[in-house]
Amino acid sequence: EVSAMLARASLTSICVPNGQAALDVLETGCRPAVALVDLRMPTMGGLAFARRLSQLDSRSRPELVFFSGSASFKDATEALRLG
C-alpha cells in the first residue's frame, strides 16, 4: 500500500477514496505538496479531479503524480496536460 510506503519514508499522507473526497480535504485548508492521483477512481476520477483542481488558486494546488493500471494514451496525454 502506498500510504505504508510513505510512512516508512517518514512522510505524512492523507488517503481518500476519490477525487471529490480529495477536493473536500483541500477545502478544509489542507495543503499537501503532492497528490498521488489514480486516473480510475470511483465517483470522480483523476482527470476530473485535475480539471477541478486547475480552477483553484495556483498557491493552493499540489503537484500531481498520476498513476493507473488501465489508462489509455489519450488519458495519459490529458494527465500530462493537466499537471
CA atoms within 13 A on the CB side of 68: 18
Per-residue model confidence (pLDDT) at position 71: 65
Q: pLDDT band at residue 22, thresholds of 50, 70 and 90?
A: very high
Query: What letters, b where the CB count within 10 A reaches 16 and e where it falls short, cover 26-45?
Result: beeeeeeeebbbbbebeebb
In the numeric block, which cell numbers belong to residue 67?
498513476
Backbone angles phi, psi at 36, to 5 degrees: -90, 120
Its pTM stands at 0.78
| pLDDT of amino acid 9 | 96
